[in-house]
Amino acid sequence: MSLPVQPVETEVTTNWDAKFAGRAVKMTSSVIRELLKLTEKPDIISFAGGLPAAELFPIREFREACEYVLTTNGSKALQYGATEGYTPLREYLCEKMQKYGVPAEVENIIITNGSQQALDLIGRVFLDKGDVVITERPTYLGALQAWRAYEPQFATVPLDDDGMCVDELEPVLKAHQGKVKFIYVLPNFHNPAGTTLPLERRIELVRLAAKYGVPIIEDDPYGELRFEGEDITPIETLHKENVIYLSTFSKTLAPGIRIGWVTAPSKIIGKLVQAKQGADLHTGVFVQMVAHDICSRGLLRSHVKKVREAYYERRNAMLHAMEEQFPTGVTWTRPQGGLFLWVRLPERVNTTEFLKTALEEKVAYVPGAAFFPDEGGHNTMRLNFSYCRPEVIREGIQRLARAIMREFG
């Protein structure tokens, strides 16, 4: 047994602020994560988080899969694994994506710790200081947070109720020609806007990207959660060699297992593998094997069906409550799937400041400005409808309507 050692006595202390890298100084906390701390009080109804419905998690299936994996192949499940991911899971994903029209091959897939890690790895591989990233306006806050550390510039294209206004993309490409590293889009049930990009816009997006030699990052975490309308051809299907496709189990199985994946040309997968080796070696083998067991037994399909039905009911509850409660001058999107819808208030309202009034009424949302790479969105907000039950949604919208009426005076 080692003897206790006395600390060294010295008056010198390290100035940690002077030791941070320049990129660390520029890092900021997630607005949503910080906001969630304010909404943990049980009397506040929160539409702020992008949370799946916890009561729908397939806990029994996970328990059975954990026991099966540990009983039949526990030594492999608890061992180091390949950076690319657990091969049977990659084979399952390959087959699954091919059914959706994505031209995937096993060697073109890497498993990541959620799609958030995929975004960070893409930043590591592609971005140098001053490079240009084109996004929708608004866009996913997590992507902005992942890439800002690499100090790019963001150029934006506005959204309407059908997603990116692709007819406004070419002037942006021309203005930054030679500097654009990629175009980032969320074509299905956009976060935060809830919009879906029509096929004709996807085709034009692919045409313009190819014309200017710019790859597309297609982020598709919500694609399986369609509860209205018809599926639309994935962007990667339209131009396999110019698209990097991202998805995740976070919205279908459970976010806590942290499993996402990337499908891309082999050369890009090779670079992502090298970047991931430096980050965490590989995604946990055990959770990959558990997820594969659940999926291979066909349990994911039935679970997703149940999730779609629940979210459809909850979206309808929110839309109907808004139609009944919200005053004239407030508009919103009508998502065909996913977790979110987007609300626009009159220009005179600043939703960041208005949040204080909403919290007084015991309801929370995410101010829209957080989703804009540049200035904008001061009068918008994102509402999540997946987490709360319908009766809670109706009460929350009633509270939010009261807050809006107070703001309108």
DSSP 226: B
**Domain at 288, CATH number:** 3.40.640.10
| Three-state DSSP class for residue 131 | coil
Domain-located, residue 114: yes
Instruction: Kindly state whether residue 167 falls inside one of the protein's structural domains.
Output: yes
- Examine residue 74 and state whether it is found in any structural domain, yes or no: no
Whether residue 294 sits in one domain with residue 311: no
Can you tell me the distance from the alpha carbon of 44 to that of 291, in angstroms, rounded to the nearest whole number? 34
User: Is the peptide bond between 367 and the residue preceding it cis, with omega within 30 degrees of 0?
Assistant: no
Residues 243 and 262 reside in one and the same domain: yes
Give the end of a domain, one of 298, 321, 336: 298
Residues 342, 293: one domain? Answer: no
Q: What is the pTM of this model?
A: 0.93
Q: Residue 70: inside a domain, yes or no?
A: no
What residues are paired with 132 via a beta bridge? 153, 180
In a domain, 14, yes or no: no
Residue identified by tokens 């919205």 is: 251
* Whole-angstrom distance, CA of residue 146 vs CA of residue 148: 6
Residues 260 and 163 in one domain: yes
| 67 occurs within a structural domain | no
Sheet holding 132-137, edge to edge: 109-112, 260-263, 243-248, 216-219, 180-185, 132-137, 153-160, 163-164
Q: Which domain holds residue 368?
A: 20-58+302-408
What is the number of structural domains in the chain?
2
Q: Is residue 30 part of a domain?
A: yes
Would you give per-residue pLDDT tens digits along the chain (409 residues)?
567 777 777 777 788 778 787 777 766 666 666 666 665 678 999 999 889 999 999 999 999 999 999 999 999 999 999 999 999 999 999 998 888 777 789 999 999 999 999 999 999 999 999 999 999 999 999 999 999 999 999 999 999 999 999 999 999 999 999 999 999 999 999 999 999 999 999 999 999 999 999 999 999 999 999 999 999 999 999 998 999 999 999 999 999 999 999 999 999 999 999 999 999 999 999 999 999 999 999 999 999 999 999 999 999 999 999 999 999 999 999 999 999 999 999 999 999 999 999 999 999 999 999 999 988 999 999 999 999 999 999 999 999 999 999 999 8
Distance CA 22, CA 126 (A): 19
User: Which pair of tokens denotes residue 176?
Assistant: 């930054």
Which of these, 243, 254, 193, lies nearest to 63 by C-alpha position? 254
Q: Which amino acid is at 127?
A: L
DSSP structure class, residue 56: G
- Residue 221, C-beta contacts closer than 8 angstroms, at least 6 positions apart: 115, 186, 191, 246, 247, 248, 250, 251, 260
Residues 103 and 128 occupy one common structural domain? yes
The reply to whether 252 and 209 lie within a common domain is yes
CB atoms within 10 A of CB 149: 18
Write out the E strands in 186-223.
216-219
Does residue 50 sit in helix, strand or coil?
coil
Instruction: State the helix-helix crossing angle for 285-296 and 59-77, rounded to 10 degrees.
Output: 130
Give the separation between CA 261 and CA 386, rounded to whole angstroms: 23
Task: Assess whether 275 and 253 both reside in one domain.
Answer: yes
Instruction: Based on the fold, state whether residues 114 and 244 are members of the same structural domain.
Output: yes
Is position 73 within any domain? no
312 with 181, same domain: the answer is no
Q: From CA 164, how far away is CA 195, in angstroms rounded?
A: 9
Q: Does 285 lie in the same domain as 320?
A: no
The CATH code of the domain that includes 397 is: 3.90.1150.10
